[in-house]
Structure 1
Amino acid sequence: MEATGKFNRIYGVRYLKNRSSAGAGAGASSSSHFLEVDRAVFLIDKCKSINQLLQIHASLLRHGLNQHPILNFKLQRSYSSFGRLDYSVALFNRTDNPNVFLWTAIIHGHAQCGLLEQALFYYAQMLTQPVQPNAFTFSSVLRGCSLKCGRALHSHVIKFGFDSDLYVTTGLLDAYARGGDLMSAKQLFDKMPEKSLVSLTAMLTCYAKHGQIQEASLLFEEMEEKDVVCWNVMIDGYAQHGFPKESLLLFRQMLAAKVKPNEITVLSVLSSCGQLGSLESGRWLHSYIENNGIQINVRVGTALVDMYCKCGSLDDARKVFDQMRDKDVVAWNSMIMGYAIHGFSEAAFQLFEKMCSIGLQPTDITFIAILTACGHSGLVSKGWSIFNAMKDEYKIEPKIEHFGCMVNLLGRAGHLQEAYDLVRNMKIDPDPVLWGTLLWACKLHNKVSLGEQIAEFLVSHNLASSGTYVLLSNIYAAAGNWDGVAKVRSLMKDSGVEKEPGCSVIEVDNKVHEFLAGDLSHPKSKEIYLMLEEINRWLKANGYTPQTDVVLHDLGDRQKELSLEVHSEKLAMAFGLISTRPGTTIKIVKNLRVCLDCHAVMKLISKITRRKIIMRDRNRFHHFESGLCSCGDYW
């Protein structure tokens, strides 16, 4: 085939040359001219490289076919497809009176290369000529255009009578969807008499991108035809908007429907596994990737590292990291952050130094990871040193996230005034998350007055979240100020703010189980609560005393003890003990910060049962083993 192709290319150019010579000398007929054009079109379409295209173009120039509109159109498109937009522009500029197809080709070439302003410029130039756009012109110029331009072009579409063209309206729909104008996209979509797979996918993407997951799900279910792009949009929509379980379930449905996943699919599913802490599902997906021809490139490798870190398996993460070739700074950042959130600060620092030593320039994300490592170890001096080096040595201006890391580091270490001064002197406006971090430090160190001051500021400036109210309530409760607690709860009720319920997740036999505090909905609730009673006997035999001061309700001591016994992480622990073999590591993921009492209980259970327990809470990982925790009781 390769030899035949080479013969055709050589023969084709010679054929053009011979036919042109013959025509010049003997008055070639119009039919032979058409044969030459047809042959030239065939050669251009079959071109495999820019050098071949240049040879054909040179032959056309030598033999007088350089102004043929069809050939120029083909040449323009081919130059653009080979990434030589400069040749395409030069050819266009030398063409006399370009028709709509040539204008569309030059617009399409620029839009395809992401040069949207230039594409719009050529469109505007075309309108100054006696040339009217066609459907392909609009499809090209709408590609990747901004919302503002899309709205302007919509009026042109109506003016030139293409508002019922399926391809043009799909391009408009895509422009509205990308620009975030959900209402206009929906109105246009509803008016479309015919909906192609492309238009359905554009609307689905719009819903998913803007968190309209229920609407996206309904549209997805109604679609008769679904390609891999549709599945990816829906799976990623679930993953990006806090529905990781639904993302994994849809992925399994995709496999059952015999639709082959691609790189985009596995990136979304790995993210969902990481959110859930679903190590078994993540390992299965890793095996699927290796056995089904999906390349473990830097993006997939980095997603695997991130997933394993979030699922509590640093060994697996480091193994993938070490096997990756041509690692970029994003991959290094993922592994450094993995060590940081697990509390292995020294390993994070060593990896950071190694990354710098091989010439990779740290990014702002790198410094978030390193400052996080400092925060989990209480390394105030080192944290300040890194924070200052980021600005002075690496010329990276601190963002709100870096200030947040510093406030967390200082606040946890008890340097509240220093943290407060840092927030007040920031050049950028602190956000509610930053104030919440400082408020949490006030709760940790019983700084009631400062906590009240911060909370009042947030409430008065409409910056308060549910977390603000909860933290202020916790500060009052820790100080025994139950009137203050009642006042805050009244404010929450009046404002319609609800406290986020504590939820713990554990994976057993490749199935994820969720528990809320006091949960009775699990099929094995009876066995779980019997195990809780057994655990309580173990704890008392080992000198455990419930830390009832963490119960932030005005209750009697016994009621507080009962409240502590049914925290969600303890229910998950009990289920793990009755559902796995002795000696098996138990992994739990909690959506909130683990309380002092549960932390103490997990340490004791790891000692009594001789099991390793890994818990991921909102702030970090805790590795409990032989009665100790990797955090050193500093979290």
Structure 2
Amino acid sequence: MSAALKHATVGSRLFCVHSAQTIWHNFKSPTHQTLHHLLERCSSMRELKLLHAQIILHGLSGQVLTIGKLVSFCTSPELGDLRYAQLLFDQSPQPNKFMYNHLIKGYSNSDDPIRSLLLYRQMVNAGISPNEFTIPFVVKTCACKSLYWEAVILHAHAIKLGMGSHACVQNAFLSAYVACRLINSARKVFDDISDRTLVSWNSIIGGYAKLGFCKEAILLFREMQKLDVVPDVITLVCLLSVSSKHGNLELGRFMHLYIIATGIAIDSIVTNALIDMYAKCGHLQYAECVFDQMLDKNVISWTCMVNAYANYGLIDYALEMFNRMPVKNVVSWNSIICCHVQEGKYMEAMELFHTMCSSGVMPDETTLVSVLSSCSHMGDLELGKQAHNYIGNNNITLSVTLCNALIDMYAKCGALQTAMDIFFGMPKKNVVSWNVAIGALALHGFGEEAIDMFEKMRGSGLFPDEITFTGLLSACSHSGLVDKGRYYFDIMSSKFGISPGVTHYACMVNLLGRGGLLGEAMALIKGMPMKPDVVVWGALLGACRTHGNLEIGKQIMKQLLELGRYNSGLYVLLSNMYSESQRWDDMRKIRKIMDESGIKKCWAISSIEINGFC
């Protein structure tokens, strides 16, 4: 039996040990033996409750191993009932290690895994020493909830109990440290494992892949090859995901050739990962080739190709691929709706959303965020309200992400008060929530209120990011708060360690320009650590027109010509400046440059909606 146990999972080994104990157990009576063996063939909670009733009637409630068998069945994720298991456990006069282990295992796989940690503490306090079966399930909870310090304490306890070198225990801690994003701690555990299994290799390679350490993941795979450790599907998917994230085509092609050369058996998961890798590495034709050669395409395969076309802006191809899909799930619908939103086809995205609902597929949070984003960009308050009502009517939980999308939608559709009501009604707020609220106030010209919101954010203990300062500087710009704008621009780097980006410089140029400080704005641009973009020059040029400063306007034009930046709006703006100053020759020169460079004025279009028709 020892050879079989070496390669078994923790759960199956736990069952084997209990079965062995049952063989040597002296039953109280023939009835006891019969009931115990019937428990081993039990297939439903209904049968178990009937057997439990018989156990009580025959005065066998004090038989620890038999009650343990009841607890074991109740902790089964497929057939069991954890509440009943807890009831049995609580009624047992002396719960043993076997009961504790099974109940801890059950909670570690449940929606309330923290209970396994509490049970572990109860077990230790009761004087029952945990074993190599107990620890992995408790550590699994630490991994699930990213409880780093709890994992460290458990690790120390496991070493103290002499279980630090058990392979299943080490693999559990390895996975927990990866889940807590502590790759160095995970690597130390991996290096200490004397008898590494494929689980060990996959955990550490997967950890490096997840955290973006491409080189380390590749080196470990090469070490696997040297040691003749045969990779499995999980290993291949981990390495292909590294390739996808970093656009490392060389690694992706190497993995593909390795699969072909070794003839290793792969499934649709690996094939889908290959499609995703080639698409993200810029080789759409290879992705198409892998997809076309697939014999058993599933919904994920089709969705991968939809995403591939969408990422290249080939929205028509994406839609054609989507329409060919034999089966569509919520992820497929999300992909096609999202790609329409990204391409600015907001009305088409809304039409797809309605088709999705009509097809019987229930939208999820991602769908609704895309829909609300479409409403925001269109400024369609009525559609936005309909989306909000849909959320309420279908009892969809208002997550933080969904609330943030609603705030953004209402603010951009002109309903600032509704946006603020949602914000202040949120029980939990993240950095994005505060950013959206600050941006909403800035958009509507409430600069002082946006600053006050920023200070409240700091008071809440959350750390601002780049987007926070974009909203804050925009608020100062729209409200003419020059001194406060300068102050917040300075403390970005000095106090919060955030280097200003092009967007922050554009906000500052706009702020200074509106205040008539054109010289200071020009000096700020010259001191930028990066090249100014069209938005920066546009902000300054707009200020030049407002204040009638043609000299700086000409300097801007010179910079644009040297950089080869041809934006029709800026040229039209400068042309209008010359026209307003009655400098007709200069105006004609600008128009000539536009004609020679093929720069055409963009037509402005406005639309109104009456009774649902534009």
Contact conserved, 2:566 with 2:599, CA < 8 A, in 1? no
**Counterpart in 1 of 2:599?**
497
User: Matched residues in 1 for 2:294 and 2:482: separation?
Assistant: 60
Specify whether residues 425 and 72 from structure 1 end up closer, same or farther in structure 2 by C-alpha distance, changes over 3 A only: closer
User: Matched residues in 1 for 2:329 and 2:448: separation?
Assistant: 46
Please give the secondary structure, in 1, of the residue aligned with 2:384.
Answer: helix
- AA at the equivalent of 2:133: H
User: Matched residues in 1 for 2:348 and 2:436: separation?
Assistant: 25
Match of 1:139 among 232, 237, 244: 237
- AA at the equivalent of 2:528: M
Contact conserved, 1:274 with 1:306, CA < 8 A, in 2? yes
**Counterpart in 1 of 2:472?**
370
User: Matched residues in 1 for 2:289 and 2:588: separation?
Assistant: 47
Specify whether residues 151 and 394 from structure 1 end up closer, same or farther in structure 2 by C-alpha distance, changes over 3 A only: same
Specify whether residues 495 and 159 from structure 1 end up closer, same or farther in structure 2 by C-alpha distance, changes over 3 A only: farther
**Counterpart in 1 of 2:499?**
397
**Which structure 1 segments of 5+ residues have no match?**
1-7, 23-34, 61-70, 514-635
**Counterpart in 2 of 1:226?**
328
The residue correspondences of 1:521-532 to structure 2 (distance < 5 A) are: none
Match of 2:224 among 120, 126, 136: 126
Deviations 1:401-425 (A, max 9, x none): 1111110011122221221111112
Contact conserved, 2:329 with 2:361, CA < 8 A, in 1? yes
The root-mean-square deviation of aligned C-alpha atoms, in Å, is 3.9
User: Matched residues in 1 for 2:448 and 2:167: separation?
Assistant: 63
- AA at the equivalent of 2:19: Y
Give TM-score, length-normalised by structure 2.
0.68
Contact conserved, 1:108 with 1:119, CA < 8 A, in 2? yes
User: Matched residues in 1 for 2:485 and 2:533: separation?
Assistant: 21
**Counterpart in 1 of 2:133?**
57
Specify whether residues 104 and 227 from structure 1 end up closer, same or farther in structure 2 by C-alpha distance, changes over 3 A only: farther
Deviations 1:481-535 (A, max 9, x none): 44444433343333333322212243444x362xxxxxxxxxxxxxxxxxxxxxx
Contact conserved, 1:442 with 1:448, CA < 8 A, in 2? yes
In the TM superposition, residue 276 of structure 1 has moved relative to its aligned partner by: 0.5
Match of 1:330 among 405, 419, 432: 432
Contact conserved, 1:364 with 1:396, CA < 8 A, in 2? yes
**Counterpart in 2 of 1:263?**
365
The residue correspondences of 1:275-290 to structure 2 (distance < 5 A) are: 275-290=377-392
**Counterpart in 2 of 1:15?**
19
Matched, 1:419 2:516: no
Deviations 1:422-468 (A, max 9, x none): 11122332222211221222222232232122112212221232223
**Counterpart in 1 of 2:569?**
467
- AA at the equivalent of 2:597: S
Contact conserved, 1:103 with 1:126, CA < 8 A, in 2? no
Matched, 1:174 2:276: yes
- AA at the equivalent of 2:297: K
In the TM superposition, residue 477 of structure 1 has moved relative to its aligned partner by: 2.6
Sequence identity percentage: 36
Contact conserved, 2:202 with 2:234, CA < 8 A, in 1? no
In the TM superposition, residue 230 of structure 1 has moved relative to its aligned partner by: 0.8
User: Matched residues in 2 for 1:191 and 1:241: separation?
Assistant: 30
Specify whether residues 110 and 18 from structure 1 end up closer, same or farther in structure 2 by C-alpha distance, changes over 3 A only: farther
Matched, 1:314 2:416: yes
User: Matched residues in 2 for 1:58 and 1:355: separation?
Assistant: 43
Q: Which has the higher contact order (CA 8 A, sep 6+)?
A: 1
Matched, 1:446 2:548: yes
Specify whether residues 78 and 461 from structure 1 end up closer, same or farther in structure 2 by C-alpha distance, changes over 3 A only: closer
User: Matched residues in 1 for 2:459 and 2:203: separation?
Assistant: 46
Specify whether residues 11 and 88 from structure 1 end up closer, same or farther in structure 2 by C-alpha distance, changes over 3 A only: farther
Contact conserved, 2:170 with 2:189, CA < 8 A, in 1? no
**Which structure 2 segments of 5+ residues have no match?**
1-11, 27-39, 41-68, 79-104, 109-115, 121-129, 137-165
User: Matched residues in 2 for 1:383 and 1:90: separation?
Assistant: 49
User: Matched residues in 2 for 1:274 and 1:262: separation?
Assistant: 19
The residue correspondences of 1:149-298 to structure 2 (distance < 5 A) are: 149-161=251-263, 166-192=268-294, 194-298=296-400
- AA at the equivalent of 1:110: G
| Higher deviation after alignment, 450-459 or 188-197 | 188-197
In the TM superposition, residue 108 of structure 1 has moved relative to its aligned partner by: 7.1
| Higher deviation after alignment, 219-228 or 256-265 | 219-228
Specify whether residues 316 and 456 from structure 1 end up closer, same or farther in structure 2 by C-alpha distance, changes over 3 A only: same
Q: Which structure has greater helix proportion? A: 2
Matched, 1:457 2:559: yes
Match of 1:110 among 199, 203, 207: 207
Specify whether residues 17 and 140 from structure 1 end up closer, same or farther in structure 2 by C-alpha distance, changes over 3 A only: farther
Deviations 1:86-117 (A, max 9, x none): 8999699757585xx55775467537855754
User: Matched residues in 2 for 1:115 and 1:427: separation?
Assistant: 28
Aligned residues: 477
In the TM superposition, residue 163 of structure 1 has moved relative to its aligned partner by: 9.7
Give TM-score, length-normalised by structure 1.
0.66
Contact conserved, 1:75 with 1:88, CA < 8 A, in 2? no
- AA at the equivalent of 1:57: F
Matched, 1:48 2:146: no
User: Matched residues in 2 for 1:399 and 1:230: separation?
Assistant: 35
Contact conserved, 2:174 with 2:189, CA < 8 A, in 1? no
- AA at the equivalent of 1:139: V
Please give the secondary structure, in 2, of the residue aligned with 1:226.
Answer: coil
Contact conserved, 1:76 with 1:92, CA < 8 A, in 2? no
Deviations 1:384-408 (A, max 9, x none): 2222233333333222211111100
- AA at the equivalent of 2:472: I
Contact conserved, 1:111 with 1:143, CA < 8 A, in 2? no
- AA at the equivalent of 2:18: R
Contact conserved, 1:80 with 1:88, CA < 8 A, in 2? no
In the TM superposition, residue 257 of structure 1 has moved relative to its aligned partner by: 0.9
Contact conserved, 2:135 with 2:169, CA < 8 A, in 1? no
Specify whether residues 463 and 49 from structure 1 end up closer, same or farther in structure 2 by C-alpha distance, changes over 3 A only: same
In the TM superposition, residue 264 of structure 1 has moved relative to its aligned partner by: 0.7
Specify whether residues 9 and 427 from structure 1 end up closer, same or farther in structure 2 by C-alpha distance, changes over 3 A only: closer
In the TM superposition, residue 162 of structure 1 has moved relative to its aligned partner by: 5.3
